[in-house]
């Protein structure tokens, strides 16, 4: 069965600090997809990134970076030089290929507070 | 492209009443999903469609919940005989073959 664990319920940082959000997943599939979504205070979930299980290359997009390590079943998300606008709830998610990549399950989320 | 649209945005109902939510996905997306989210939790999978076919329904979903997607376009989620425990945000999302979910703003249900 697939499972996503985000152990950090809330994180509070001061603007310009770096912050890492942890995500650990469980799956029996060898082919799967991992995602991060952002839910700002306005409420609408927004897609950030998708990785497939065969691509462990880390990715950087501006101040955002993602570290995927199959050996530890982790897909962590780092925000560099955080800004107040980064305040949101961040969800890690997993889709297994045996479901055709259809069913996506989410972790409980990490609420990030960035203080000015 | 107007994104995923859900309505009503907010529904207040009395226990025992039936409610129906509608979702209009992004037009070129053939996959449509329903999730439920309660305060402080992540979205909980309810069901999904590929075109008009409902391919999976969560085992956690009682028989009071039913979803349809006639003609593979918009979808409806109906909850019969609502209970207070049904109070939540009901999220609809659509996707294409790459799997990223595009969410609507959600329909908040309050059962009194």
Chain A interface mutation, best of B2, B43, B61, B93, highest count of A Cβ atoms under 10 Å: B43
Residue of A nearest to B30 (CA): A102
* DSSP state string for B36-60: EE-TTS--EEEEEEETTEEEEE-TT
Q: Spell out which residues of chain A touch residue B50, defining contact as CB-CB under 8 Å.
A: 100, 102
pLDDT of A29-56, one tens digit each?
A: 888 999 999 999 888 999 999 998 998 8
Residue of A nearest to B40 (CA): A108
Q: Return the CA Rg of chain B.
A: 13
Which of B75, B84, B83, B80 has the alpha carbon at shortest distance from B34? B75
Whether B1 has a pLDDT exceeding 80, the answer reads no
pLDDT of B63-91, one tens digit each?
A: 999 999 988 899 999 999 999 999 999 99
* Mean pLDDT value across chain A: 92
Q: Chain A: give the shortest CA distance to residue B94, in Å.
A: 10
Residue of A nearest to B43 (CA): A106
pLDDT of A89-111, one tens digit each?
A: 999 999 987 665 578 999 999 99
Distance CA A58, CA A1 (A): 26
Q: Chain B: give the shortest CA distance to residue A93, in Å.
A: 9
Q: Chain B: give the shortest CA distance to residue A46, in Å.
A: 7
């Amino acid at each position: 069965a697939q499972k996503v664990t985000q152990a950090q319920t809330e994180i509070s940082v001061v603007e310009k600090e770096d912050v890492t959000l942890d995500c650990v997943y469980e799956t029996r599939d060898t082919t799967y997809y991992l995602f991060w979504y952002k839910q700002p205070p306005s409420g609408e979930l927004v897609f950030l990134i998708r990785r497939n299980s065969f691509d462990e290359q880390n990715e950087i997009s501006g101040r955002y970076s993602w570290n995927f390590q199959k050996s530890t079943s982790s897909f962590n998300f780092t925000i560099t030089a955080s800004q107040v606008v980064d305040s949101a709830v961040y969800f890690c998610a997993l889709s297994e290929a045996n479901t055709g990549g259809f069913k996506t399950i989410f972790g409980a989320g990490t609420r990030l507070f960035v203080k000015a | 492209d107007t994104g995923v649209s859900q309505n009503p945005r907010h529904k207040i109902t009395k226990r025992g009443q039936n409610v129906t939510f509608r979702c209009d996905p992004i037009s070129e997306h053939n996959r449509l999903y329903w999730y439920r989210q309660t305060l402080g939790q992540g979205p909980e999978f309810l069901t999904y469609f590929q075109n008009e076919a409902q391919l999976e329904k969560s085992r956690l979903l009682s028989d009071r919940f039913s979803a349809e997607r006639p003609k593979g376009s918009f979808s409806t989620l109906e909850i019969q005989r609502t209970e207070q425990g049904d109070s939540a945000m009901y999220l609809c999302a659509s996707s294409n073959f790459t799997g990223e979910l595009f969410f609507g703003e959600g329909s908040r249900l309050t059962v009194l």
